[in-house]
Amino acid sequence: MQDCKVSAGGIELGRSNCVSAIAFRGDVSGLPNQDFEILALPLLDPLYNFARWLCGDADEARDLVQETFAKALKGFASFRQGTNFRAWMFTILRNTFLTSRTGLEWRRTEQEDEENFEESAVTHDTPEIALIRRADTEMMRQAIATLPLAFREVLLLVDIEEMRYQEVADVLRIPVGTVMSRLSRARKQLREYIVVTLGVKHEM
């Protein structure tokens, strides 16, 4: 049987790995697979980008996205219609990623989240945010890779995927205040890296 493939973010998804809903017909517990296809395929690029930044490896990111789509398709019947599908997909990807990590960095970060946090420090338009959103170079990839994973994922979702704080909180299953705390600290660490390592100075 010939594979039906969809390419996005350098990923080819086909019947053989049961990732793309294009490869399936019929219903999943009464929900048409076409619904999954319509909702999920536009998220290929954002999910791959998030996975690529998290993993730091293109092959691992492709595998992660493929596994995410396979799990999402299998569990699509449990998705509550009318809720945030994008957040649901990003949550599946993140949880899948975390199974390959110890989780120690997240636990340490959770204990420190509320220390020395000022809500006013989180703003929507700063020079480093503009720099992050143009971060398509290996140099900036390395800069973001230096962040602790718990900070990196928040920064990626807010500053690159442009998710709302509440949506990020839904993905990560943490309070909005914790999202803001981690984002503030992530931006601070990234700014310090840029100034020290890249020699780029901004007035904040």
What domain count does the chain have? 2
Which residue type does 168 have? V
- Structure token pair of residue 114: 């509320």
What are the phi and psi torsion angles at 13 (to 5°)?
-115, 130
Residue where one domain finishes, among candidates 68, 100, 132: 100
What are the phi and psi torsion angles at 46 (to 5°)?
-60, -40
Residues 200 and 162 in one domain: yes
Q: Give yes or no for residue 204 having a pLDDT over 90.
A: no
Residues 95 and 110 in one domain: no
Residues 27 and 2 in one domain: yes
Residues 134 and 148 in one domain: yes
pLDDT tens-digit series, residues 152-175: 999 999 988 999 999 999 999 999
The domain of 132 spans 103-204
Report yes or no: 194 and 200 within 8 Å, Cβ to Cβ: yes
Burial of 107 (0-12, 13-18, 19+ CB in 10 A): exposed
In this predicted structure, what is the pLDDT of residue 17?
Answer: 39
pLDDT tens-digit series, residues 20-74: 433 333 334 445 577 888 899 999 999 999 999 888 889 999 999 999 999 999 8
pLDDT tens-digit series, residues 86-137: 999 999 999 999 887 765 445 544 545 544 444 444 555 666 666 665 554 6
Residue where one domain finishes, among candidates 53, 81, 100: 100
- Structure token pair of residue 80: 């509550």
Tell me, rounded to whole angstroms, the distance of Cα 98 from its chain centroid.
12
Residues 34 and 23 in one domain: yes
Q: Give yes or no for residue 194 having a pLDDT over 50.
A: yes
Q: Give yes or no for residue 201 having a pLDDT over 70.
A: no
Burial of 44 (0-12, 13-18, 19+ CB in 10 A): buried
Residues 114 and 86 in one domain: no
Q: Which residue has the higher pLDDT, 169 or 81?
A: 169
Residues 19 and 116 in one domain: no
What mean pLDDT, rounded, does the chain reach? 74
Report yes or no: 161 and 100 within 8 Å, Cβ to Cβ: no
Burial of 43 (0-12, 13-18, 19+ CB in 10 A): buried
Residues 194 and 170 in one domain: yes
Which residue type does 18 have? C
CATH of the domain at 175: 1.10.10.10
Residue where one domain finishes, among candidates 71, 100, 129: 100
Residues 82 and 108 in one domain: no
Residues 90 and 153 in one domain: no
In this predicted structure, what is the pLDDT of residue 129?
Answer: 64
In this predicted structure, what is the pLDDT of residue 108?
Answer: 46
Residues 36 and 127 in one domain: no
Phi-psi map region of 13: left, alpha, beta (phi>0 left; psi -120 to 50 alpha) = beta
Residues 40 and 134 in one domain: no
- CB-CB neighbours of 192 under 10 Å: 11
Of 116, 134, 83, give the one whose Cα is nearest residue 184.
Answer: 116
> What is the reported pTM?
0.70
In this predicted structure, what is the pLDDT of residue 18?
Answer: 37
- Structure token pair of residue 182: 């981690």
In this predicted structure, what is the pLDDT of residue 192?
Answer: 83
